[in-house]
Structure 1
Amino acid sequence: MPLSDRDRVLLDFEARWGRHGAAKEEAVREELALTPARYYQLLGRLVDDADALAYAPMLVHRLRRMREAQQTVAVTAPGPGVHRAAR
């Protein structure tokens, strides 16, 4: 299914803001009328969308790399109660 206007707005917003912490979250609320959690849910779905990739290839590739890096950290991080021995 082709990208909706909202999808394009989300991708354009992310391309402009990238990583900006609290200021970005406030802009999500004000400009998009979304909670940050909902924004990231919607953006996460777009990362796997072929039409999003065609619309914003550099952005989608960057978001995919970021997601993969987060997944790698989650998989390799010790679980709760696991402590590394001090040297």
Structure 2
Amino acid sequence: MSQEELSARDIEVLDFASRTWSGPGARDRAIRERLGISPTAYLQLLNALLDDPRALAHAPVTVNRLRTTRAERRRER
């Protein structure tokens, strides 16, 4: 794998993040079942990916939407 490519795990996390969920319980359960990690680990991976230009190139709509959400939450603090 070259430095230009995202890992399969990164792509899986981005694809997962593009989905909408009826509530946090359903999302958290799916994170554990499908990704095999805790919701906290998922959010940490996803947050790091939001700052990765390769992630932006792979899933621009998802990354930009989540960057906007993250910025709004930071402003509310």
> Taking structure 2 as the reference length, what is the TM-score of the superposition?
0.90
2:76 to 70, 73, 79: 73
Moved more, 8-17 or 47-56: 8-17
Residues 65, 39 of structure 1: CA spacing in aligned structure 2 closer, same or farther, 3 A cutoff? same
Provide the C-alpha distance between the structure 1 equivalents of 2:22 and 2:50, rounded to a whole number of angstroms: 16
Give the aligned partner of residue 31 of structure 1: 34
Deviations 1:6-58 (A, max 9, x none): 00000001112367311000000011011000000000000000000000000
Structure 2 residue runs without a partner (length 5+):
none
Greater than 6 Å deviation, 4+ residue runs = none
Corresponding pairs, count = 74
Q: Does 1:15 align with 2:11?
A: no
The higher relative CO (CA closer than 8 Å, separation ≥ 6) is in 2
Give SS of 1:16's match: coil
- CA RMSD in angstroms, aligned pairs only: 1.3
1:73 to partner: Cα distance: 0.3
Q: Give, in whole Å, the separation in 1 of the partners of 2:44 and 2:22.
A: 16
